[in-house]
Amino acid sequence: MDLVSVIIPYYKKRNFIKETIVSVIKQSYDYLEIIIIYDDTNLNDLEFLKETSKLDNRIKIINNNKRLGAGPSRNKGIEQSNGKYIAFIDADDTWLSDKLKDQIAFMKKNNYQISHTSYFIINEKKKIIGQRKARDLLSINEILKSCDIGLSTVIIEKKVIVKTNTKFPKLVTKEDFVFWLTLMKKNYKFYAYDRNLTNWTDSKNSLSSSTIQKLFDGFKVYKKYMHFNIVKSLYYLICLSLNYLKKK
C-alpha cells in the first residue's frame, strides 16, 4: 500500500475543519499522513486545531507564522510530504469514506498519474444543492474556458509535481486553475473517475465567493500565467465567466 499525503490549508474555517479532518481519518484507505498548514496570523484557532489533531497521530500541523495564502500553503505541504500520492482537500469540504481507496484503485488499474472525480455541491446546512460530473481532460484547450476540476477531488503522484517543479501561485482565487493549466501545458492529463466522492461546500463567506476577486484573478490567469495578450485574456475571461454562470 502506497502512502498518501493529504494536504489541507487552514484559514478561518473553525466551523468546518473538524468534520473535514474526521472524513479523512475515517477513510477506508488508512495508509496516509494528514498535513494541515495553519495560515493565519491570529493564533486563536491554532490551539483548537492542536486539540483536534489529538484525534489521530497521522496529523501534522505546520504553522506559517504569517499569512501566505492557500496556494503557497499547499506548496509548503507538498514540500514536507512523504507520500507517493498527494491528495488535496480544502478545510470546509468532506470526503466519502471510500474516496481514496476507490480513486487510487482506479488510477493503479489504468496506470494514471493524475485523476479527479465528480462531486456534490452542498450548502452550509449540508444540503446537496448541485453536482459536477468529472470528465477526462486530455488537452489544455479543454479547460481554458471552464475549469471543471474540483480541487478537493484531485489525487496526483508526487513525482509529477517534483519533476515539473509545478507550484501553486500566490493568488486569492484561481490558484488551483493555474496549477492544472501548468501541468496540462506540460502534456499531463486529468483522468475522470465519475463517482461523487467529495462534498464541496458552497460557503458564502469564503474567499472564492467574491465575484470581483474572481474576475481579477481570472484575468491574471490568462494574462500573467498563460501569457495571452489583453484581448485574448479578456475573451477567455468572458468565456470562463459565462460557463460559470451556466453551472449556477
* Average pLDDT along the chain, 248 residues, taken 10 residues at a time: 97 95 98 97 92 96 94 98 98 97 98 98 91 95 93 98 97 96 97 97 68 92 97 97 80
Tell me what pLDDT residue 150 has: 96
Tell me what pLDDT residue 124 has: 86
Q: Under 8 Å CB-to-CB from 112, ≥6 apart: which residues? A: 106, 189, 191
* Three-state SS sequence of 218-230: HHHHHHHHCCCCH
Yes or no: say if 27 and 99 are a contact pair by the CB < 8 Å rule: yes
Q: Under 8 Å CB-to-CB from 42, ≥6 apart: which residues? A: none
Asked whether residue 224 is domain-assigned, the answer is no
Asked whether residue 217 is domain-assigned, the answer is no
The 3-state DSSP class for residue 114 equals strand
Yes or no: say if 28 and 98 are a contact pair by the CB < 8 Å rule: yes
Which residue range is the domain that position 122 belongs to? 4-204
Asked whether residue 235 is domain-assigned, the answer is no
Tell me what pLDDT residue 117 has: 98
Tell me what pLDDT residue 159 has: 98
Yes or no: say if 217 and 171 are a contact pair by the CB < 8 Å rule: yes
Asked whether residue 243 is domain-assigned, the answer is no
- For residue 162, the domain's CATH number is 3.90.550.10
Asked whether residue 209 is domain-assigned, the answer is no
- Count of domains forming the chain: 1
Asked whether residue 244 is domain-assigned, the answer is no
